[in-house]
Amino acid sequence: MNILLVNSPVRLDARPNCIPYGLATVAAVLRNEGHKVTLYDANALRPTREELLRDLGRIQWDIAGVSGLVTTFSFQVWIIERLKAMNPQAPVVSGGGLATSIPRLLFKHAPLDFAVMGEGEETMAELVETLERGDAPSSVQGLAYREEGRVRITSPRPNIPDLDTVPFPAWDLLPMEVYLPNPVWGGEARNSSGFLPHVRVSRSMNVISSRGCPFACEFCYHLFGRSHYRFRSAENVAAEVEQLVDRYGVDFVGFVDDNMMASEKRLLEFCDLLERRKLPITWGCHARVTSAKPDILQRMAETGCVWIGYGIESGSQRILDAMNKKVRVEEARRAVLRTRQAGMFANTTFIFGYPGETLETIQETIDFKKSLGIRCGSFFATPYPGTPLYEKCRDRIPDEETYILSLGNATQFTVNLTDFEEARLFRLKQAMDENSDVLERPESVLSGEPTAGYATK
């Protein structure tokens, strides 16, 4: 069958720097099954809507698939309508974070035929085979579909136990020369990350070495289920890196999975493989602060690691506990210091305005940042559908549909989860981002009203 896959545009204020990794592995699976696959990457190409429709008009397809995060809701509604208008007989499938977290809302607003929920490789391949045979989709696990005017959801599909069986992304179906020059992290990436000034990167690529997360922070969305953590073997990951170097001249690999350092054994095996194969790259990854052990960090640095991203989120233990982070503030401090001592850049991200945020918790985060010389902005606490935070804050979201349409990448304000009035909330966020004390400044600076009593910490 001829299958069209469309990658939705995201973060249009920044250059495209991460390939649609999951969609590209789905494409590889479908191609391995003998199908002709076209992947139209609207995020890389950034066409106008008129250009996009013109391009799609030149493609023939029997099934169309669209993928994207929940923030692509409005685009997916629009493109699904156009795909059905252009080819009414061809089923349209949505997959990824949006289809998994709020499938019923997507079915309500778009003429969607199927939603693949959770991991897409096996479900999409089985759905295509089922449609080819003309069978009913009810036997396909991990699927939502229309039937007699209602949305039916089948039983959940078990996660793929061995991720080494998933093929590498179909890079040749992507406009790789758009992605390669754009750094995964650093100032040019415009994703709240810094970088070591002396490290030069010319061609970078993102890789996902694991799926899921062994922890359950309440603000975090997990496409593959909460705490269902699986990882690829070190050999499999090293083989992918080697192909990226050989085929595309990649000199930096950014591992964008939630916590590449969760398995020390696998991490050290991977470092050994990088050393033995003498791959000419630098690399970076995301990690949890509790994984930052001096000997592990030193080994990573020896094999080219230059960047580790830590989701610190807050310098207040009270807020960390509310988030269910299960870490201590001092563990975060040690992780930053140890990473720097090993010669790597410790990137830190923070969340502002979490439920329970007060002047005291804000000041604690400012104190934490100042003590480590950290200068960075923060993300607004944003409840995303499918997270415990979203369920806890539903009373603050009177209209779900309007709220979904407003969702961005958490740099934009969507809903106030605190007891501060909004204008003051914005001033407090600016103060925290700039490391300006909020308990040592006169209250009149922040509220416009002359008060006293905020001079002590």
* Domain map (residue ranges) of the chain: 2-153, 180-447
Q: What mean pLDDT do residues 344-348 have? A: 96
Q: What is the pLDDT of residues 261-270, one digit of tens each?
A: 999 999 999 9
Per-residue model confidence (pLDDT) at position 197: 85
What is the Cβ-side half-sphere exposure of residue 387, based on CA atoms within 13 angstroms? Answer: 21
Where does the pLDDT of residue 407 fall: very low under 50, low under 70, confident under 90, or very high at 90 and above? Answer: confident
Cβ neighbours around 333 below 10 Å, total: 16
Determine phi and psi for 282, rounding to 5 degrees. -110, 165
Buried b (16+ CB within 10 A) or exposed e, 413-435: bbbbbbebeeeebebbbebbbeb
Q: What mean pLDDT do residues 179-186 have? A: 93
The alpha carbon of residue 270 and the mean position of all alpha carbons in its chain are separated, in whole angstroms, by 23
Mean pLDDT across the chain: 92
Q: Where are the alpha helices (DSSP H) in 117-233?
A: 121-133, 176-179
Where does the pLDDT of residue 455 fall: very low under 50, low under 70, confident under 90, or very high at 90 and above? Answer: very low
Can you tell me whether residue 211 is helix, strand or coil? strand
Per-residue model confidence (pLDDT) at position 443: 46
- Whether 2-153 and 180-447 share one fold: the answer is no
Q: Which H, E and C letters describe 353-410, residue by residue?
A: CCCCCCHHHHHHHHHHHHHHCCCCCCEECCCCCCCHHHHHCHHHCCCHHHHHHHCCCC
The sign of the torsion formed by the CA atoms of 133, 138, 139, 143 equals positive
Instruction: Name the residue type at position 236.
Output: N
Per-residue model confidence (pLDDT) at position 190: 60
The CATH number of domain 180-447, selected from 3.60.150.10, 2.60.260.20, 3.80.30.20, 1.20.120.450: 3.80.30.20
The CATH number of domain 2-153, selected from 1.10.3720.10, 3.40.50.2300, 3.40.50.720, 3.40.140.10: 3.40.50.2300
Where does the pLDDT of residue 227 fall: very low under 50, low under 70, confident under 90, or very high at 90 and above? Answer: low
Q: What mean pLDDT do residues 334-353 have? A: 97
Longest Cα–Cα distance in the chain: 75
Per-residue model confidence (pLDDT) at position 221: 83
Q: What mean pLDDT do residues 308-324 have? A: 97
Per-residue model confidence (pLDDT) at position 247: 98
Q: Percent of the chain beyond pLDDT 90?
A: 84
Where does the pLDDT of residue 392 fall: very low under 50, low under 70, confident under 90, or very high at 90 and above? Answer: very high
Per-residue model confidence (pLDDT) at position 444: 39
Per-residue model confidence (pLDDT) at position 192: 62
Where does the pLDDT of residue 191 fall: very low under 50, low under 70, confident under 90, or very high at 90 and above? Answer: low
pLDDT at 44 over 80: yes
**Least confident span in 149-153, 220-224, 432-436:** 220-224
Determine phi and psi for 287, rounding to 5 degrees. -155, 165
Where does the pLDDT of residue 449 fall: very low under 50, low under 70, confident under 90, or very high at 90 and above? Answer: very low
pLDDT at 457 over 50: no
Q: What mean pLDDT do residues 213-223 have? A: 85
Cβ neighbours around 197 below 10 Å, total: 9
pLDDT at 173 over 80: yes
